[in-house]
Amino acid sequence: MRKVSDRIEFSIVKRPLIKGLLDFECGDDAIVKKFGAKVFLAVIDALGHGGDAHAISIICKNFIEKRHNKKLSQTVTALHENIKSLNKGAVACLAVLDLDTGELEYVSVGNICLKIFGSVNRKIEYKPGIIGYNIPTPQVEFIKMSMGDVLVMHTDGVKEHFDITDFPDIMKNSAEKIAKKIIRKFGKEQDDACCLVLRYIK
Ligand SMILES: [Mn+2]
């Protein structure tokens, strides 16, 4: 999936684990949704894999997507309460980018990897917790993006230790090419994988 709209270019690439021949469904998913002068982003990884994980990821995705314009911390807490009774869990990172200021507001629970490449090269540290089982009070944090910066958000089905030096041409590639490359080169065969790439453009 590739889309170019006003001031952002983004792509979401996902695939189910490769080694589990009976699993065709992916428990990882992502959302990109523009609203006003903002864009909502999320990456979700439902625990486990296969049909069960896929079903939970759909529940989480729909729940989160409906609340894309609400406070991020409230959405995380509400989702936690909502899926608790299912005895299933997920990790997720939710963010809102203000296209006028470049301010990225985010809340992360669990090991979704968030990196910014460009004017700064930054990797956001993981936060503890599993939505549906136990979560700390969700913490909203901020990071500033500059024009031309590339945001990468991916699940743990992608090896986290790649850096900008692995992609000397990262700034030239389309978001779609970057996302495909990350999944192809760094995706783990034994896990579902999802990568969201978003470039903040003029
Ligand atoms: Mn995973």
Tell me the average pLDDT of the chain.
Answer: 91
Instruction: State pLDDT tens for residues 147-167.
Output: 999 999 999 999 988 776 677
Of 193, 170, 52, 11, whose CA–CA distance to 112 is shortest? 193
202 CA distance to ligand 1 middle (Å)? 33
Amino acid, single-letter form, for residue 113: C
Q: Give yes or no for a contact between 197 and 8, defined as CB atoms under 8 angstroms apart.
A: no
Structure confidence at residue 179 (pLDDT): 94
Q: Give yes or no for a contact between 197 and 172, defined as CB atoms under 8 angstroms apart.
A: no
Q: Output Rg (C-alpha) for the chain, integer angstroms.
A: 16
CATH number, domain 2-200, options 3.60.40.10, 3.30.70.1060, 3.40.1390.40, 3.30.1330.40: 3.60.40.10
Tell whether the model's pLDDT for residue 124 goes beyond 70.
yes
115 CA distance to ligand 1 middle (Å)? 17
Identify residues whose C-beta is under 5 A from ligand 1, the ion. 45, 155-157, 191
Helix (H), strand (E), coil (C) string for 142-189: EEECCCCCEEEEECCCECCCCCHHHCCCCCCCCHHHHHHHHHHHHECC
Euclidean distance between CA atoms 31 and 12, whole angstroms: 8
Tell whether the model's pLDDT for residue 34 goes beyond 60.
yes
Spell out the domain ranges in the chain: 2-200
Tell whether the model's pLDDT for residue 2 goes beyond 60.
no
191 CA distance to ligand 1 middle (Å)? 6
Euclidean distance between CA atoms 142 and 153, whole angstroms: 15
Q: How far apart are the first and last CA of the chain?
A: 21
Structure confidence at residue 1 (pLDDT): 56
Euclidean distance between CA atoms 40 and 99, whole angstroms: 11
112 CA distance to ligand 1 middle (Å)? 9
